């Protein structure tokens, strides 16, 4: 599958594109974790393509350093990942994801329907794609900092699914309580809690990976995407 270049208002940036066997297909923009467009993100795009979606993961760290591909295996890579997280401009990142969404919709391989999915930092961005973009649906895996963004929830007009880890070390209990209360009763929001799971429980090969919880979350995600991105 190819690496492509997407042109945005502030410059061009790279992205990984996975194309399904049958096209045109619905599009999905994948918002990366803090490790860049690494093999984990590329594998997620390939998984989505295998399920019939045109999947694209843009490099949202390009303004800091293009082409970041870290792993979660060494302390040095974790340190660099958190450094990038601290330098990252969320508002600019959302604009890049919106450009990527428009790019997908304009491709001949796409039906015109397109949504977004994100993990960790990308889970936060997926929430913001639900509040700030015209994505047809969104999915957020263990998004960080969502409790600080609840004022935007009134802008959610298309279906959003949230996967929340009950023991998430980066989303403490008080934050989870606020998220649940702030989104309770929202007609467009479905929130699933994975009891006993820590952050990144769906990252294959990660320290906290849990196969049963990951498969349950991924099954729900696919059902959500297929329901709301059908042509």
Q: What is the pLDDT of residues 71-92, one digit of tens each?
A: 999 999 999 999 999 999 999 9
Contacts of 167 (CB under 8 A, 6+ apart): 196, 197, 198
- Report the residue count for the chain: 231
Find, among 144, 140, 159, the residue nearest to 217 by Cα: 140
- Specify the pLDDT at position 41: 98
- Specify the pLDDT at position 2: 87
pLDDT mean across residues, the chain: 97
**Tally of domains within the chain:** 1
State how far the Cα of 78 lies from the Cα of 74, in Å rounded to an integer: 6
pLDDT at 231 over 70: no
The CATH number linked to 135 is: 3.40.50.1820
Q: Which domain does 198 fall in, by range?
A: 3-229
Q: What is the pLDDT of residues 118-157, one digit of tens each?
A: 999 999 999 999 999 999 999 999 999 999 999 999 999 9
Find, among 109, 144, 88, 142, the residue nearest to 28 by Cα: 109
pTM above 0.85, yes or no: yes
pLDDT at 219 over 70: yes
pLDDT at 1 over 80: no
Active site members:
168, 199
pLDDT at 100 over 70: yes
Q: What is the pLDDT of residues 173-216, one digit of tens each?
A: 999 999 999 999 999 999 999 999 999 999 999 999 999 999 99
pLDDT at 28 over 80: yes
């Amino acid at each position: 599958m190819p690496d492509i270049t997407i042109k945005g208002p502030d410059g061009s940036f790279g992205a990984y594109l996975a194309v399904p066997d049958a096209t045109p297909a619905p599009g999905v923009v994948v918002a990366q974790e803090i490790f860049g467009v690494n093999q984990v993100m590329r594998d997620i795009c390939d998984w989505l393509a295998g399920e019939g979606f045109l999947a694209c993961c843009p490099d949202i760290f390009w303004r800091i350093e293009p082409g970041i591909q870290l792993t979660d295996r060494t302390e040095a890579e974790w340190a660099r990942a958190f450094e990038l997280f601290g330098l990252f401009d969320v508002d600019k990142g959302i604009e890049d994801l919106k450009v990527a969404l428009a790019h997908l919709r304009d491709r001949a391989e796409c039906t015109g329907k397109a949504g977004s999915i994100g993990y960790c930092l990308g889970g936060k961005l997926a929430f913001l794609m639900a509040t700030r973009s015209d994505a047809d649906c969104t999915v957020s895996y263990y998004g960080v900092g969502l409790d600080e963004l609840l004022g935007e929830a009134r802008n959610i007009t298309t279906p959003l699914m949230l996967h929340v880890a009950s023991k998430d070390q980066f989303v403490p209990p008080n934050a989870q309580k606020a998220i649940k209360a702030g989104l309770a009763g929202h007609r467009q929001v479905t929130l699933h809690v994975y009891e006993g799971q820590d952050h990144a429980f769906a990252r294959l090969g990660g320290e906290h990976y849990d196969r049963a919880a990951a498969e349950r979350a991924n099954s729900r995600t696919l059902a959500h995407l297929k329901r709301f991105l059908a042509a």
